[in-house]
Structure 1
Amino acid sequence: MSFQFAYLAGLMPNLAVAALVNLRLSAMIIVLALIGGTALTILRSLKIRPVNAIIAVLISFIRGTPLLIQIFLFYYVLPAIGLDLSPTVAGVAAIALNSSIFISETMRGALITIDPGQIEAATALSLPRHLVWAKVILPQLFRRVLPVLVNEATIVVKGTALLSVITVVDVLRTAQQIASASYRPFETLIGAALVFLAINLTISLLGRRVEGRFAVQRA
């Protein structure tokens, strides 16, 4: 069976519509992951031993297990303890938790590069701790980790394809359905790959532009 570019072109509108699901889920996950990663970073900076011990175990588990297994745990295991989540909610929660851990690790590494004198000066001015974080630490922290956040966003977008295994109808699920009906998996999977490539190239381009603006402001 020869590859047909005309068939591939005909698939793209349907796959582009399905991509809106991936974009919507990715946006929710990235927002939740930024909030979660920031909260974990602040929580770990308090150096409460029992809390940090629990977080360390969670980090080890998330970093040491495949994302697909984590999605299965949210979707298939949590109902056993009374948390019956829809495929979309389970998938978003699993990927957001995974991304939060990696963002927190990145932010923790960048935190030590911030001049402690600034924090001491803010404290000397009797600024409340939450304002020190909001006005002094976090703005610098986000600028420092922006390239990593852009990369994490592309990972999240690709990760949403895994939700097709728990029946979320996204680009990959749509491509699989079309392939099953047409017996042409080559074109459909190439089409799905092109959609993800286009999304992530756009994210990378936008990320570079934002980085460039920050660089101009610093100059």
Structure 2
Amino acid sequence: MGFKFDYFLSTLPTLAWAALSNLRLAILAIAIALVLGIGLTILRTYKIGPVNAAIAVLISFVRGTPLLIQIFIFFYVLPAAGLNLSPMVAGVAALSFNSMVFVSEILRAGLGTLDPGQIEAATALGLEPRSIWRHVVLPQVLVRCLPVLVNESTIVVKGTALLSVITVVEVLRTAQQMASASYRPFEPLVGAAAVFVVLNLLVSGGARLLERRLVTRTRTA
């Protein structure tokens, strides 16, 4: 069965439309993961023994298990505990939960690059811890960690394809449906791959523009 280029082209509009679901899911998951990851990072800096021990277990679980298993836990296990989630909500929750840990690890590494003298100076000026984090620490850490955070964002975008296993209609599930209807899996799957490449190029390009603006703003500040 040869590759039909005209059929491949005909799949792209449908797959591109389906990619909007991937994009929405990824943006929501990334935003939640960033907020939770920042909170987790701040919490770890307080060095509360039992809390840090629990966080260490959480990190080990997330890093040691496949994302697909975590998605199944949110979609199939939580309902057994009385928490019923729709496929999209479960998918976003699983992606956010997974990415939150990696965002926290990225930011924790970024904290090590800061000059402690800045925090000491801010403390000497009488700034509250919340203000120090908001105005001194986080702006610098986020700029320094932006390339790695972008890489994590592309992983989240690709991870949205796994949500097809819990019936979320996105690019991969749409490609599978087209393959089942036409008995030609090659072209739709190649089309899905092409769409994901474009999505991640858009994410990377947008992040580069943001990084340039942030660097320029920092230099002129």
**TM-score relative to the length of structure 1:** 0.97
* Alpha-carbon distance in 1 for matches of 2:48, 2:124: 23
- Give aligned-pair identity as a percent: 64
Query: What is the RMSD computed on CA atoms of the aligned residues?
Result: 1.0
The Cα of 1:176 is off from its aligned counterpart by 0.2
What SS class does the counterpart of residue 85 from structure 1 fall into? coil
Name the structure 2 match of 1:23. Answer: 23
| 1:213 positional shift | 3.2
1:113 equivalent to 2:116? Answer no
User: How far apart in 2 are the matches of 1:33 and 1:17?
Assistant: 25
Task: Describe the SS at the equivalent of 1:139.
Answer: helix
* 1:39-188 map, 5 Å: 39-188=39-188
TM-score by length of structure 2 reads: 0.96
1:205, distance to aligned residue in structure 2 (A): 1.6
One-letter amino acid of the counterpart of residue 43, structure 1: L
**Superposed displacement of residue 212, structure 1:** 2.9
Contact 2:110 2:145 (8 Å CA) reproduced? yes
Distance 2:112 2:78 in 1: 37
How many angstroms does 1:2 deviate by? 1.5
Per the alignment, residue 201 of structure 2 pairs with 201
CA–CA distance in structure 2, aligned partners of residues 177 and 108 of structure 1: 42
Distance 1:15 1:32 in 2: 26
Contact 2:15 2:171 in 1 (8 A): yes
Unaligned runs of 5+ in 1: none
Contact 2:87 2:168 in 1 (8 A): yes
